[in-house]
Structure 1
Amino acid sequence: MVDGVAAVWVPVSDMRRAVGFYRDVLGLDVTETDADWSEVDANGLKLGLNAREQVQQGSGGGAVVSFQPDSSIDDEVQRLTRAGVSFTGGISDHEWGRIAPFRDSEGNDLQLYTPPQG
């Protein structure tokens, strides 16, 4: 089963401008920042500002909701697949964790996420 939201990713084309907006305009704490990824604490919910190589207005995209499974990511992919969910890619491993992307019933981008082990 899904055990809450791990993070919400928001695509941005200008990281400095986006960090300024979330920090200065909205008054949220920016807890991490670099050219490709910044994190904002939205009262306990992590907003990830995710730089895109090219962002064109009206080209799709949008926030990505990352769900943290309460079991292994592999088990949750199998469970969701049995429930009829189509994954848009396999499980991928990164230094910052593992993800498995899929879409909701409306075509919105979602993913399972687990932090790095160890």
Structure 2
Amino acid sequence: MATGVASVWVPVDDMDRAVTFYRDVLGLKLTDEQPQWSELDAGGLMIGLNAREGASQHADGGAVISFRPDDDIESEVDRLRAAGVNFTGEISDHEWGRIVPFKDSEGNDLQLYAPPKN
């Protein structure tokens, strides 16, 4: 039986660029940095940046990591856009919350998620 998520691995082409994005742009705490593997603390969830091997192909689709902004979602979108983040859509409202999709420095799908206000 699975009792929780231990970590999330994200494939990266350029470790330095990816570490800079996750640490400096998203504001996660870097806990380990190596040429082929780096780790960041995302509020108790370990995100591992895993260097791709040169022959590895990018895949369409796959996992999406959702981040919860500290402030309102609009403020975080403004902050990330000012840092050069590529948003692939606008904020959308749903009964289960609000999301906005964007890409990391390596082209992986990410999103901001804000729960519904009660």
**Which one of 24, 36, 42 corresponds to residue 5 of structure 2?**
42
Asked whether 1:92 is paired with 2:92, we answer: yes
> Aligned equivalents of 2:78 and 2:59: distance in 1?
31
Map 1:39-118 to 2 at 5 A: 41-42=4-5, 60-118=60-118
Which amino acid letter does the alignment assign opposite residue 89 of structure 1?
Answer: G
Deviations 1:53-112 (A, max 9, x none): xxxxx9610100000000000000000000001100000001110001000011000000
- Counterpart for residue 54 of structure 1: none
More strand as a share of residues: 1
Q: 1:85 to 1:59 in 2, by over 3 A?
A: closer
Identical amino acids, percent of aligned pairs: 64
SS of alignment partner, residue 112 of structure 2: strand
> Aligned equivalents of 1:62 and 1:42: distance in 2?
16
RMSD of equivalent CA atoms: 1.9
SS of alignment partner, residue 105 of structure 2: coil
> Aligned equivalents of 1:59 and 1:111: distance in 2?
18
- Counterpart for residue 28 of structure 1: 2
Give me the TM-score of the superposition, normalised by structure 1.
Answer: 0.53
Number of matched pairs: 69
Map 1:8-23 to 2 at 5 A: none
Gaps of 5+ in 1: 1-26, 30-40, 46-57
| Alpha-carbon distance, 1:42 to partner | 2.9
Give me the TM-score of the superposition, normalised by structure 2.
Answer: 0.53
Deviations 1:21-77 (A, max 9, x none): xxxxxx115xxxxxxxxxxx43686xxxxxxxxxxxx96101000000000000000
> Aligned equivalents of 2:116 and 2:101: distance in 1?
17
